[in-house]
Structure 1
Amino acid sequence: MGPPLRIAILECDTPVEKVNLKYKGYHGVFSLLLRESAAALGQPEKLDPETGMDISGWDVVTAQEYPKLEDVDALVLTGSKHDSFEDHPWILKLIEYTKQAMQDKRVKIFGICFGHQILARALNVKVGRNTAGWELAVCEVDLSQAGKELFGRDKLRIHQMHQDIAYGYPSEVISLGASPKCAVQGMYIPGKLITVQGHPEFREDIMTELITLRTATGLFNKEQSEDAMSRAGIEHDGVAIAGAFLKMLLE
């Protein structure tokens, strides 16, 4: 077995209070998912779930700190409550860093929701509000042939919590799938990049807390809230999605 995979979590937000306390930030949320996915691979001789990964967290919003690319093997760009189409200084800095990472032939990238949109924007695709509205809780994604091969599924079930989308695919990426409300559900560059519009890292407790809080503020109406709550506990493919990324790192 070689040295641990050095995976940097670029934390593009801080989870809501209960989630933050339980999981210790998105670094904790993704660390748990990646270790579960490594265990599901069932190849401890290649990737030990406990010792095979060195997972670090980086506050790219407030501290605006980033790892040196030569010090990491992979980057994870997390979701965020912020809008990927805004020109806040920290977002522009993240886009520039992402462009540099895309040019690095060695570093692999995993983009989640906001992170998926940042990758699209870094590759010169428009991002913005979805006229179809919110996509919430566990939804089905119709996979492309590449998506079926990558994830080992005919369809993908994944948590969603977004009202923003990428408006198209960069020329250099392969489509992974689409849903009725969102045509760009994932991007793929073999050996380099996997993104998903959904949240493989979310669990029922995280989703129900978000729905509860956002319903209380009036962001979701009663019908939206009840519909989302009814699907928050459905079994989903988050472990398989992160597992596909880990397989790419082991190639």
Structure 2
Amino acid sequence: MKPPLRIAILECDTPIGKTKAKYGGYGNVFKALLEAGAEHLAQKDGVTKPELELEYYDVVGAQAYPKLEDVDAVLLTGSRHNSFDPDPWILKLVAFTKDLLAQTRVRLIGVCFGHQIIGRAMDVKVDRSDKGWEVSVTPMRLTGKGRELFGVQELEIHQMHHDIVYTYPPSVIPLGDSDRCEVQGMYIKDRLITVQGHPEFTGDIVEELLENRHDKGIFTDGVYEDGMARVRKPHDGVAVGAAFLRFVMED
């Protein structure tokens, strides 16, 4: 039997309301995604379903981190926080990410805020987008490598961001773009894979975020209504979860 895939999930935020009640933390949201991705690999790729060994680390409050010798991959989650801010915990996360990029064994996965932190650690501009919020199920135009990795021609994926990575670091292979975000995914074989979208999100999670941010005045009526109109559309999150695991397993 193959040993389990040891993945450390760095929780960069805490869920709200019903999502918190159901999952506890974002680690369990990703657990659901990665388990579905493992099932997808077994069914679509005909491989033995990979066993997962997941550990969660609160990098915001506890500022806890894994020992690299104990893991095969590190996944950085999304967050309501700004990836370009100078908060001590964010600076510590960027420094840890730089250390990850400097070694060659442990692989790196980034989602939304995590994708942006990796961009920041690779010294490209990360900041607020002048194109506004990108929310709910959105088409992502894929590059050739993106189509190869995700196994679809165009990716439908939940989005929930106003910040972006402005340019691709020169060492990465671009995975795709959308109307409001040029840098939707990055890849380096055996090193890193990222997406700006949220493959782990469900319609319930995004609906709660849309309602909460609309109630707080963060989202205008237009952003809210547009997002709600697409929140229950089918999406390819599980295909992305499977791609993450394929990436961790690839020789």
Please confirm whether the aligned pair reaches a TM-score higher than 0.5, indicating the same fold: yes
State the one-letter code of the partner of 1:216.
D
User: Pairwise mapping of residues 157-176 of structure 1 onto structure 2 (< 5 A)?
Assistant: 157-176=156-175
SS of 2:160's equivalent? strand
The question of whether the paired residues in 1 share the 8 Å contact of 2:6 and 2:54 is answered with yes
Percentage identity across paired residues of the two chains: 53
Q: Distance in 2 between matches of 1:44 and 1:170?
A: 34
TM-score by length of 2: 0.96
Q: Distance in 1 between matches of 2:47 and 2:242?
A: 16
| Offset at residue 46 of structure 1 (A) | 3.4
User: Pairwise mapping of residues 15-54 of structure 1 onto structure 2 (< 5 A)?
Assistant: 15-42=15-42, 46-48=48-50, 52-54=51-53
Q: Distance in 2 between matches of 1:47 and 1:63?
A: 33
- Please name the residue that 1:3 is paired with: 3
Runs (5+) with no aligned partner, structure 1: none
| Offset at residue 187 of structure 1 (A) | 0.3
State the one-letter code of the partner of 1:15.
P
User: Pairwise mapping of residues 129-140 of structure 1 onto structure 2 (< 5 A)?
Assistant: 129-140=128-139
User: Pairwise mapping of residues 143-222 of structure 1 onto structure 2 (< 5 A)?
Assistant: 143-222=142-221
Kindly report the root-mean-square deviation, in angstroms, between the aligned alpha carbons of the 2 structures: 1.1
Q: Distance in 2 between matches of 1:99 and 1:245?
A: 20
State the one-letter code of the partner of 1:151.
F
Q: Distance in 2 between matches of 1:40 and 1:238?
A: 11
Query: How many equivalent pairs are there?
Result: 248
Larger CA deviation: 105-114 vs 35-44: 35-44
1:167-216 deviation digits (Å, cap 9, x = unpaired): 10111101000111100000000122110000000000000000011110
Runs (5+) with no aligned partner, structure 2: none
- Please name the residue that 2:13 is paired with: 13
The question of whether the paired residues in 1 share the 8 Å contact of 2:193 and 2:247 is answered with no
| Offset at residue 17 of structure 1 (A) | 2.4
Change (3 A) 1:107 1:140: same
Q: Distance in 2 between matches of 1:129 and 1:189?
A: 25
| Offset at residue 24 of structure 1 (A) | 1.5
The question of whether the paired residues in 1 share the 8 Å contact of 2:41 and 2:47 is answered with no
SS of 1:202's equivalent? coil
User: Pairwise mapping of residues 68-107 of structure 1 onto structure 2 (< 5 A)?
Assistant: 68-107=67-106
TM-score by length of 1: 0.96
